[in-house]
Structure 1
Amino acid sequence: MPSLPFEESEHRDRIARLRARLAERGLDALLCFGQESHYYLTGYDGGGYVFFQCLVVTADDRPLTLLCRRPDVAQARDTSLIDEIRVWFDAEGADPAVALREILGEKGLAGRRVGIETDTHGLTGRSLLRVQAALDGFCPLIPADDAVAAMRLVKSPAEIEYLRRAAALADDAYDAALATAAAGVVDAEVTAAILAAILRGGGDMPPAGPLVNSGSRAVYGRGVGGPRRLDASDLLILEYAGTFRRYNACLERSIAIGAPPAAHRDLHALVRDTLEEMQAAFRPGEPLGAVDDIHRRRLDAAGHRDHRFAACGYSLGATYRPSWMDVPPMIYSGNPLELRPGMVFFPHVMVGDPATRLAMGLGNTVLVTETGCEVLSRHALDLPAR
């Protein structure tokens, strides 16, 4: 038996629900290029998506077929419920899209409506062009990016347990960061402490980051290469994911090095109060965009309209490199997505003024419940000084 991330019955149920969705949409099959889709449906846990890799799922119960490279075959067999594995071989002029067309032909899909996932890191622009060329005149391709993604939004009890484990690892990593951060320490040591805590705690390597920015870099919304030594008076902003069985729970915190000046304390209070109100807005039945309405209203009123992000967070789940962001959906004003119990999000508040280099960031992973939301971190939203 394969080593699956969930009970076989849960994977079988997901496959059955997807097939029902395809039939409702009049689709005869789906070309899954997202590794997240492969993992969610079948358990397949691999990295071959960085090349050309596709799972063919038909609306009926014909065998699930994976097209991949030779290095991925053993993992696909050992970790998944995939029925058939076909291999395309590296060679001058090799075109895996032609091999994909042959698979579709064998399944009787010529002239049939076939859905395709395109909003994924598993399908590069070059690969999409190859697929379109190979299937031109063979069958119509129908965009179906939400076929699996919409199913993944509401987490099962087993998925929620993985997310709780991931959140506990993120908390442990924050303890390690606090114990490491100090004046004179190179910020890479803080990064190492975060990753070591996650891995030693039984987690996986996160699919991105961690972001560990300080000094003038604190205004950046992304990580930056090259180490930096922390000054006697400094601000360190951390944003990273604790990861367990590919499921990610994010945490964002700010740490003062030395006594924080009044400007930092005031900005921290604004960011903290804004995040707390945003968290309270995660209620079933409410639109997701209402969370960003709070974010914008509070920060704009405080004079930070030009220093805030246009979106204040995103969905979380199981993802692969290069991002822990399981999007869509993003949390932006006007997003009509109705919140439902079992959805998991990372709302965060990041303010960075490039002119003054004043910055502050806080964020938590939250689980939408039947009555509101649960914050998955055990850590307070304070501004510790080191």
Structure 2
Amino acid sequence: MPALYFAKAEYKARLGATKLEMQRLGLDTLILSDPANIFYLTGFDAWAFYAPLFVVVSCNEDEPIWIGRFMDAVSARDTTYLLEQNIRAYPDSFVQSSTSHPVQPTSEILRERSLDKGNIGVEMGAYYYTARIHAEFVNHLPNARFQDAELLVNRVRLVKSAAEQAYMRQAGHIVDAAMAAAVERCAPGVRECDVVAEIYKAQISGSLEAGGVYTTSPPHFCAGERVRTPHGLWTDQPLIKNRPLNIEIAGSRLHYHCPISRTVFLGTPPDSYRRLAEAVVEGLNTTMDSIRPGMAAEGVELVWRRSIAKHGFEKEARLGYSIGLGFPPTWGERTASLRPGDKTVLQPGMAFHCMSGLWLEDTGIAITQSFLVTDDGNEPLTQFERQLIAKS
């Protein structure tokens, strides 16, 4: 039996919701290439997306059709609920070939199922749907009309089931442990890479309740002058006393992510930096206290913006984004954002990373909170104290 992470009834419900959205958009067929969406609808879990990998959903088919490299079909049998006839593989000769492309046998499979015509949705902006892939589909399926359906499944994923929420809570426990390990290791003279090694160990070891898996991106570890940058990486240089450092990491439980950012100051922070931290923490706490179902995403950002404005600060970037299931290169779902103009209505079961950080000309700080929207407010997914961490 395949090792499914969810009940078959849940996969069926996800597929049904996807088909309803396809019908609303007038799509006959949907070709997915985003590994998160492939995982969401089928359970497929293997590092196979470096080669063209597709899942095809048809309004007239009971199950999706998995199409990938022949050697990865074994993982499709091991990790999905799909019947054998819906696991289709292309030969290895098509992999990284200069004379042929995997879309060619994929198109043949679509023709076999009479799915080579009508309105076909594709994920035009997905990281794994390349210009070459699209050109090959247009060439090999001349009777089809292609339509962008990039975020169709992503939007279906916005509201998490009870099982998904449970995985995200476990991811929160994992990232709390990873952040604690990082803070414990941080000290003047310790190499940045040695701190990050502790993060990786804790991320994968997980908790006694649940182990972790790889996250969508490496730890963002910004020390010294790099504290001004939000997405920098570590070096092999020693940490320096009387300097701040920002750490942004996530815990991942079966690919469900819970991120967190914290700032560590190695020494006694000057008054100006303490005031900056107090403004950020006040803004974050005020925002978290305000979050309720029925609010618009832009309304959450407005609470934060007004709070930090009282201290003379403003943040140009969005305050946060929806989170949940993620594969490289991002744990963000690429749908709802906490920013002006986003009128997404918060519903119970949605999850967000409130990215309450400020990156200024000469310094930066990041103290953030991931949360679930609940029936009467919100549930923090991490318990790590929301404050500047000073290590003297």
* TM-based fold match above 0.5: yes
1:11 aligns with 11
Deviation digits for residues 21-55 of structure 1, max 9, x if unmatched? 32343321110111111111110012222321111
Cα offsets for 1:246-265 (capped at 9, x unmatched): 00001111111011111111
- Please name the residue that 1:41 is paired with: 41
Residue 128 and residue 278 in structure 1: after superposition, are their counterparts in 2 closer, same or farther (change >3 A)?
Answer: farther
Confirm or deny that 1:87 pairs with 2:94.
no
Deviations 1:42-91 (A, max 9, x none): 10012222321111111023553222113322111111123222214324
Alignment check: 8 A CA contact 2:291 2:377 kept: yes
Task: Give the CA deviation at 1:20.
Answer: 3.1
Q: Residue 111 of structure 2 aligns with which residue?
A: 105
Q: CA deviation at 1:300?
A: 4.2
| Cα contact 1:177–1:194 (8 A) shared by 2 | yes
Distance 1:110 1:383, change over 3 A: closer
Cα deviation for residue 203 of structure 1 reads 0.5
In structure 1, how many angstroms separate the alpha carbons of the residues matched to 2:186 and 2:63? 53
1:367 partner SS: strand
Counterpart AA for 1:281: S
Structure-2 separation of matches of 1:369 and 1:162: 16
Q: Match for 1:343 among 350, 362, 372? A: 350
Query: Do the aligned partners of 1:241 and 1:250 also contact (CA within 8 Å) in 2?
Result: yes
Please report how far the alpha carbon of residue 301 of structure 1 lies from its aligned counterpart in structure 2 after TM superposition.
4.6
5+ residue gaps in structure 2? Answer: none
Equivalent of 2:333, from 320, 326, 349? 326
SS of residue paired to 2:244 = strand
Q: Residue 60 of structure 1 corresponds to which residue in structure 2?
A: 60
Contact 1:33 1:118 in 2 (8 A): no
Task: Sort the Cα spacing of 1:132 and 1:300 in 2 relative to 1 into closer, same or farther, 3 A.
Answer: farther
**In the aligned structure 2, how far is the partner of 1:278 from the partner of 1:125?**
41
Aligned equivalents of 1:376, 1:110: Cα separation in 2: 44
| TM-score of the aligned structures, taking structure 2 as reference length | 0.92
Listed one character per residue, the Cα deviations across residues 265-298 of structure 1 (whole Å, up to 9, x for unaligned) are 1000000011112223321111001122233333
Residue identity in the other structure for 1:56: V
Structure with more strand by fraction: 2
CA contact (8 A) 1:282 1:288 kept: no
Pick closer, same or farther for the CA change 1:62–1:103 going to 2, 3 Å: farther
Deviations 1:343-362 (A, max 9, x none): 000012221222xx222111
1:210 corresponds to which letter in structure 2? P
CA distance in 2, matches of 1:110, 1:9: 29
Give TM-score, length-normalised by structure 1: 0.94
Letter in 2 for 1:198: Q
1:195 aligns with 2:204: no
Residues 139-178 of structure 1 mapped to structure 2, 5 A cutoff? 139-178=144-183
Where does the alignment leave 5 or more consecutive residues of structure 1 unmatched? none
Q: Deviations over 1:170-220 (max 9, x none)?
A: 111111112101111111122111111121121012111211111100110
In the alignment, which of 283, 305, 317 is matched to residue 274 of structure 1?
Answer: 283
In 1, the alpha carbon distance for the partners of 2:151 and 2:334 equals 11
Residue of structure 1 aligned with 2:294, choices 285, 310, 334: 285
> Which of 346, 353, 356 is equivalent to 2:360?
353
CA distance in 1, matches of 2:118, 2:300: 42
1:113-152, Cα deviation, whole Å (9 max, x unpaired): 11112232221232223223333x3210122223211110
Using the TM superposition, give the Cα deviation of residue 15 of structure 1 relative to its aligned residue in structure 2, in angstroms. 1.6
Look up the match of 2:387.
Answer: 382
User: Residues 6 and 207 from structure 1, CA distance in 2 versus in 1: closer, same or farther, beyond 3 angstroms?
Assistant: same
Q: How does 1:118-137 map to 2 (within 5 A)?
A: 118-135=124-141, 137=142
Q: Counterpart in 2 of 1:28?
A: 28
Read off the aligned partner of 1:10 and give its amino acid letter: E
- What does residue 370 of structure 1 align with? 375
Identity among equivalent positions (%) equals: 28
Kindly provide the amino acid, as one letter, of the partner of residue 294 in structure 2.
G
Give the CA RMSD over aligned residues.
Answer: 1.7
CA distance in 2, matches of 1:26, 1:334: 27
Count matched residues: 381
Quick check: 2:151–2:335 contact (8 Å CA) kept in 1?
no
The residue aligned with 2:188 is 183
Aligned partners of 1:44, 1:195: CA distance in 2, in Å? 24
Within the candidate set 233, 236, 241, 1:227 is matched to 236
